Amino acid sequence: MKNYNPNEIKNIALVGSAGAGKTTLAEAMMYEGGVISRRGSVSAKNTASDYRPVEQEYGSSVFSAALYTEWKEQKLNFIDTPGADDFVGGVISALNVADTAVMVVNAVKGIEVGTEITSRHAKKLNKPVILVINQLDHEKANFEQTIEHAQSSFGKKVVLVQYPVNSGTGFNQVVDVLKMEMYQWKPEGGKPDVLPIPESEKEKATELYNILIEAAAENDDSLMELYFEKGSLSEDEMRSGIRKGLLARDMFPVFCVSAEKDMCVRRFMEFLVNVAPAASAMPGMPTQAGEIINYDVTAPTSVFIFSTTIEQHLGDINYFKVVSGVVKEGDDLINMRTGAKERIAQLYAVAGKNRTRVSELRAGDLGATVKLKGTKNGDTLNTKDCDFIFPEIKYPNSRFRTAVRAVKKGDEEKMAEVLYRMHEEDPSLLVEYSKELKQMILSGQGEFHLTTMKWRMEHNDKINIEFYAPKIPYRETITKYAQAEYRHKKQSGGSGQFGEVCMLIEPYEEGMPEPVSYKINGVESKMSLRGKEENELPWGGKLVFYNCIVGGVIDTRFMPAILKGILEKMEEGPLTGSYARDIRVCVYDGKMHQVASNEISFRLAGRHAFSEAFKKANPKILEPVYNIEVLVPDEDMGDVMGDLQTRRALIMGMEADSGFQKIKAAVPLKEMQRYSTALSSITGGRATFTMSFAGYEKIPSDIQDELLKNYKGDDDDE
């Protein structure tokens, strides 16, 4: 393989809904470029990109696959991404290093929710988008309706470069309005016959040609002047205008293919070579400091790791983009996160399961290496004296959580090890042992996401695991002030233990005035502030602790022990064992013994006094509430709204959004369990949602009573 420069490299992400045919298109592109000698198929389980056991079991992509082909002296790197929204992490990784997104659209189903979701990610990352309408040979293909849906979603910037003459089971002809030619294929596809446009299509083709010229000219003032002057543009001039429109996201060109029959794939690759922006035409990659690093082969070597997979016989494979300079086999680079040196022992150009050894890769190119010691997704590797650090990839918040445990007790440690390894492969899969809940919690993009992980663990790693309901991280607080006192006294044959603490507690709010006086046992008592300590709690909220002791009835040296006892009880709240928060405590009186008093005595006295006062202070349980946005087709709006209302949702608003409806609501986490599955069932998989933590709110009294009853029952069982 030749060494390609930034102006000869095109980096493309193949994106779109499940079933659109991205993997099949990738096979045809690699076949046409000679990277593979025969085209595999998803049904035959022999494609270059879907080679992992779980993908062959499911018949669809689970991981993104880095691929390439060579065409007309240029290198086309493309990343085949999963279509299921549960595996959106792979899409995000691909879009972060791609220069163009090729949106593959199913000609039968049109613009699906998955298409819309992916287009939002592309827009957020400011990536040019080319639309490829696939499966035009299907008996139910409807090109015109698909274009209507596309224009509804993307606007009038959707411009046809091609259209099918005979979509459906007999599909084999396409009119190309950029070249003003018709292509016709034999049943085996591949190289077409180039024919004049028939008389029956000339009027339509001319109309679309003029629309394409105007769209190309709109993106360049000099082209617009030429267009007005000549009334037309040359093919090269149109290409220049289309390229500028792509880069500005002011044009979404449309191509037609039957990937399965390898029809129009060669022409699409030609368009990518001639029109899609090369790495050198892109603005470069921003560092954490905001500096833009251009794809320059003469600059210091710097690479960004965008994906990691673990192969059975190879170990970790790290996929990277060369942002600047040239990376060569044998190079020593510095991991900017760890400071450790990494040796690039082997370099590969990757076509899925096929890897071609190369001696070097230049700025703008994608490649892979193996056996790096401590490098993971999002890391930057630099040559010595280069200080570029590129920001880590940001993945969507999780939408589905479950608790997990090994079926065999002895497998717990091995299970945890495999789960954390899976997180390295897929950062959108989160793994955490919750000390609070005493559960291993898995969070992902949906039930299918986690079920797939479970399949892999059971079949690849031979560890049987089970999912069960995760606990809710409730919080406890109080709503009024209360007073309590507690004497800890214990005779142990020696000096014994003695400590007595009197305290007052009340709800804490930011900005509230300092404590002055309170009515204690019917008597107005003034607080004498001797010391104050604010504690930001690890689980959120505050504890503000005041020493109000007068006359030395408790020695100052015992105050930290009292505070420690209070914090211990807040860590296992008095009501349900959940964390307590937002409380102010005044220790105003007590007693000590010259011999028997010690730190443990006052820690226990403080702990019990706090617990008693807490239960008198009209305590409330708080539950986590999440903001959610549901993107739903119009026809499913009523069913989705009805389901949300059964989940105690507070509807915050609704708005139209590119042919869909967006519902904004606040929903308790308790009611979100399995919501992704329910939403998919209600809408036939056509809706999606995002969720983010909003805060804690008081739960209804009936739910609090149930929680208190269950917690008391747990105590009785113990």
Q: What is the mean pLDDT of residues 198-212?
A: 95
The share of the chain scoring above pLDDT 70, in percent, equals 98
- Cα–Cα distance, 69 to 49 (Å, whole number): 13
Predicted local distance difference test score (pLDDT) of residue 199 = 96
Vertex 397 angle, CA 582 and 286, to 5°: 110
Rounded to an integer, what is the distance from CA 513 to the centroid of its chain? 43
What does residue 128 show for φ and ψ, rounded to 5 degrees? -60, 150
Residue 527 and residue 586 in contact, taking contact as beta carbons nearer than 8 Å: yes
Q: How far is CA 705 from the centre of its chain?
A: 37
Write down all domains in the chain, each with its CATH number in brackets.
6-281 (3.40.50.300), 285-382 (2.40.30.10), 400-471 (3.30.70.870), 476-618 (3.30.230.10), 622-702 (3.30.70.240)
Confidence band for 130, pLDDT divided at 50, 70 and 90? very high
Q: Are 546 and 585 in contact (CB under 8 A)?
A: yes
Which residue carries 């409330």 as its tokens?
620
516-520: long-range pairs with CB below 8 Å, 24+: 518/481, 518/483, 518/586, 520/483, 520/588
- Residue corresponding to tokens 């507070």: 650
Three-class SS state of 497:
strand
* pLDDT above 90 (res 672): yes
Mean pLDDT in residue range 397-409? 95
Kindly write down the DSSP assignment for every residue of 8-67, as one continuous string: GEEEEEEE-STTS-HHHHHHHHHHHTTSSSS---TTTT--SSS-SHHHHHHTS--S-EEE
Structure confidence at residue 713 as a pLDDT band (50, 70, 90): very low
What gap in Å lies between CA 168 and CA 108, rounded to an integer?
10
CA-to-CA distance for 671 and 648, rounded, in angstroms? 7
Average pLDDT (311-330) is 92
Q: What are the Cα distances from residue 73, in Å, to 82, 92, 251, 474?
A: 29, 29, 26, 61
Q: Could you tell me which of 630, 633, 636, 634 has the C-alpha nearest to residue 652? A: 630
Q: Which is higher by pLDDT, 713 or 32?
A: 32
Mean pLDDT (the chain) is 93
pLDDT of residue 643 exceeding 70, the answer is yes
pLDDT in tens, 451-482: 999 999 999 999 999 999 999 999 999 999 99
d(CA 381, CA 66): 19
pLDDT given at position 120: 87
Q: How far is CA 166 from CA 136, 138, 142, 526, 679, in A?
A: 9, 11, 10, 91, 37
pLDDT tens column, 284-297: 999 999 999 999 99
Query: Does 715 score more than 50 pLDDT?
Result: no
Q: What is the pLDDT of residues 355-395, one digit of tens each?
A: 999 999 999 999 999 989 889 999 999 999 999 999 999 99
pLDDT band of 106, cuts 50, 70, 90? very high
Using alpha carbons only, what angle is made at residue 59 by residues 164 and 272, rounded to the nearest 5 degrees? Answer: 40
Contact indicator for 482, 505 with CB cutoff of 8 Å: yes
Mean per-residue pLDDT, 648-664: 89
Tokens linked to 266: 């060669």
* Calpha distance 408→402 (Å, rounded): 18
Q: Where are the beta strands (DSSP E) in 435-530?
A: 439-444, 465-468, 475-477, 482-490, 497-507, 517-520, 523-526
User: Higher pLDDT residue, 637 or 495?
Assistant: 637
Rounded to 5 degrees, what angle do the CA atoms 456, 460, 461 make? 100
Q: Which two tokens stand for residue 454?
A: 């479970």
What order of strands is seen across the sheet that includes strand 162-164?
A: 162-164, 173-176, 181-184, 193-195
Rounded-to-integer distance, Cα 189 and Cα 611, Å:
78
For residue 145, pLDDT over 90 is answered with: yes
Would you say 125 and 95 are in contact if contact means Cβ atoms under 8 Å apart?
A: yes
* Confidence grade of residue 32 (pLDDT, cut at 50, 70, 90): very high
Token reading at 550 = 């007068």
SS percent in the chain: helix, strand, coil, step 5: 30, 30, 35
Integer-rounded Cα Rg, in Å, for the chain is 32
Which alpha helices (H) appear in 630-690, and where do they start and end?
637-646, 675-683
**The pLDDT of residue 718:** 29
Q: Above 80 in pLDDT, residue 111?
A: yes
CA separation, residue 565 to residues 152, 507, 526, 608 (Å): 62, 19, 25, 8
pLDDT of 717 reads 32
pLDDT band at 716 (very low <50, low <70, confident <90, very high): very low
pLDDT in tens, 594-617: 889 999 999 999 999 999 999 999
465-468, strands of its sheet edge to edge = 430-434, 439-444, 400-406, 465-468
Check residue 234 and give its pLDDT: 85
CA distances (Å), 510 to each of 298, 507, 541, 573, in order?
55, 10, 10, 21
Between the alpha carbon of residue 461 and those of residues 317, 355, 431, 453, 464, the distances in Å are: 18, 25, 17, 11, 9
Per the DSSP assignment, residues forming a β-bridge with 490 are: 497
In this prediction the pTM is 0.87
Pure H helices in 218-284: 221-230, 235-247, 265-274
The token pair that represents 301 in the structure block: 């070597």
pLDDT of residue 143: 96
231/412 Cα distance (integer angstroms)? 73
Tell me, what amino acid is at 277?
P
- Sign for the CA dihedral angle at 144, 171, 135, 239 comes to negative
Query: Measuring CA to CA, which residue among 282, 283, 253 is closest to residue 270?
Result: 253
Q: What would the two tokens of residue 83 be?
A: 């279509």
DSSP class of residue 277 equals P
| Contacts of residue 359, Cβ cutoff 8 Å, sequence gap at least 6 | 3, 328, 329, 347
Please give the average per-residue pLDDT across 235-264, as a whole number.
Answer: 94
Report which of 65, 105, 106 is spatially closest to residue 82, judged by C-alpha positions: 65
Binned at pLDDT 50, 70 and 90, residue 685 comes out as confident
